[in-house]
Structure 1
Amino acid sequence: MSAAYPVPAADAPLVVFDFDHTLYDGDSGSHLFKWLIERAGWRWLLALLVAPVAGPMVAFLPTRRAGISVFVWVGSLGVHTHAALDALITTYVAKHAAAIQARLLPIALEVFRQHRAAGDRVLVATGAPPALARAILAFAGQDDVPVIGTLLAPNMGGMGVQRHCHYAMKMQMLRDAGYTQPVAVAYSDSSADLPLLHAAQQPVVVNPKAGRVAMFRRVLPPATRILNWGCPGRAGDAVHAR
């Protein structure tokens, strides 16, 4: 598919898309790790045991990475390499292909393609593992786009979160990957992406929770668009596909 788009110039506008609830209807990482945990009854029981501690940790920004890492570890016990984890991701995507494909948001993908066709430097920055986001984007022929995502590493017999591509760390990971130019446009649904939205010359909020709309209007520039790209149960001004 890359041949269908011009190669971005070095000074092309940098356009950053979040993934979950932006291009994909749902939390793709949670869906993956729920499946990993449900592969065996003992994993499910272990997840129930750690949930009273790890669950509340996920709810709060300062402890979110540690809480998520616990559930990642439960789902990946016995997985010691990135290659083994990627193989499980491939299996997960293959087993759930129809459901995953149905969660890709057509209007979002249309905007994504328009930016690529214009020669913009498009990338995805997500809290999901990069291999998962790329595998899902492959359904839309967009898996050749750079993906910056949460990095996992071997930890105590399984995998744990090494760098969570989330909040300020998302911006740090973008810069560390060489994307040091100003962000021209950023698309996200989440208040956890406020550092990215604040950094963008043109922030665009898509598919936000209804309870977050007033906050976005308060903290982002007055002309910021708040849109709904066909994500059920989410707020924003409706956009219709061409």
Structure 2
Amino acid sequence: MPAPGASQDPALREGGLGPIGEGLILADFDGTLAPGDSHAGLLRFILVRRRWPLLLFPLLILGALLVLLLGRSFARGRGWGIPLIWWSITLGLSPLAWRAWVRAYSASRPGLFVPAKALLAGYHHRLWIVSASPRALVRGQLALALAHEPDGKPWPAHIEATRLRYALGGLIPRHYCHGAAKITPVMARLKVALSLSDSLHDLPLLRLGRVAWLINPAPSLLRRVRTRLPHIVVKQWRLAALPPRP
């Protein structure tokens, strides 16, 4: 049965979503609800503007090599490489400065895909965003994207994202919410009506949904996903057209 009122919701009809059955909705954020990789983008944004962490370039290269060469093993690759990259770029940042960088970067982002806004408007009460980006970054982008919604901010029910902590003067992930690490024990026990992502890394997330959507996939990615998840549904999502300049 469709969710009550879903088929009558004009925002959902305009977004091309149609009715979605009862149950939890699990959505990746970067590349799925919003275009691009804001996690990597935030790190580049901070690095280019702070500049002096470029002196730690050998550590950045080492972190990248660990991710690239050992990335198949989270504990060996991402478990060491990602924290090393984060620590090198954020060394010396105070909590106040960190929040300022997140606000500045969020303001530079293009916003949400049109159907993503419809999804939030119609199903925010049971939507869980599950993201490798830090929670502060996801919330910062949502706050700006939804600030002018006529009915206020349709915040999602829950945001499960990368959690950070300070170590030796810099930020490192306390829990890097990526791949299989996105799935919490609570999440795995819940009834999931829909899961959506743009990434092959999110197959564990996509498998939880009774229905699974792959957002804006390249043909090569679609072929790889369909060999593992034949029932995947492809969705092509776009941003709203920008208003003409005065």
**Interval containing the TM-score (normalised by the shorter chain):** 0.7 to 0.9
CA contact (8 A) 2:134 2:162 kept: yes
Distance 1:77 1:217 in 2: 42
Q: For 1:123 and 1:55, how far apart are their aligned partners in 2?
A: 30
Q: For 2:45 and 2:157, how far apart are their aligned partners in 1? A: 26
TM-score by length of 1: 0.76
Cα distance change of structure 1 residues 156 and 98 upon mapping to structure 2, 3 Å threshold: closer
- The residue number in structure 2 matching 1:126 is 131
- Post-superposition offset of 1:18: 0.3
Return 5+ residue gaps in structure 1 as ranges: 1-11, 232-242
Displacement after TM superposition at 1:98 (Å):
4.8
SS in 2 for 1:61: coil
Select which of 62, 72, 87 maps to 1:61. 72
Shift of 1:158: 1.0
Shift of 1:79: 3.6
Mapping of 1:15-30 within 5 angstroms? 15-30=25-40
Aligned residue number for residue 45 of structure 2? 35
Root mean square deviation of aligned Cα: 2.4
Q: Unpaired runs of 5+ in structure 2?
A: 1-21, 147-152, 240-246
Which string of whole-angstrom CA distances, capped at 9 and with x for unpartnered residues, describes residues 74-118 of structure 1? 1221246xxx1xx34542344345531x242122222332323xx
- 1:105 matched to 2:110? The reply is no
CA contact (8 A) 1:134 1:143 kept: no
Match of 2:85 in 1: 71
How many residues get paired? 207
TM-score under structure 2 normalisation? 0.75
> Could you tell me whether the CA contact under 8 Å between 1:13 and 1:184 is conserved in 2?
yes
Return the letter of the residue paired with 1:61: R
The answer (yes or no) to whether the contact 2:128–2:156 under 8 Å persists in 1 is no
The one-letter code of the counterpart of 1:67 is G
Is residue 39–residue 133 contact of structure 2 (8 Å, CA) maintained in 1?
yes
The residue type paired with residue 193 of structure 2 is A
Deviates more, 1:65-74 or 1:49-58: 49-58
Identity, % of aligned positions: 27
Hey, what does 2:166 align to over in structure 1?
Answer: 154
For the Cα contact (< 8 Å) 2:214–2:235, is it kept in 1?
yes
What displacement does 1:170 show? 0.6
Q: CA deviation at 1:186?
A: 0.5
CA apart distance, 1:127: 0.1
Partner-residue secondary structure (3-state), 1:22? coil
Tell me by how many angstroms 1:214 deviates: 0.2
Instruction: Specify the SS of the correspondent of 2:132.
Output: coil
Q: Any residues of structure 2 matched to 1:127-142 within 5 Å, and which?
A: 127-139=132-144, 140=146, 141-142=153-154
Matched, 1:229 2:237: yes
Instruction: State the 4+ residue runs in structure 1 displaced beyond 6 angstroms.
Output: none
Aligned mates of 1:21, 1:65 — CA distance in 2: 23
Deviations 1:139-176 (A, max 9, x none): 2134454211011112122111121111111103xx35
Letter of the aligned partner of 1:196 in structure 2? L
2: CA distance, partners of 1:64 / 1:214: 26
Secondary structure of the residue aligned to 1:212 is: helix
Cα contact 2:129–2:156 (8 A) shared by 1: no
The CA distance in 1 between the partners of 2:106 and 2:130, in whole Å, is: 22
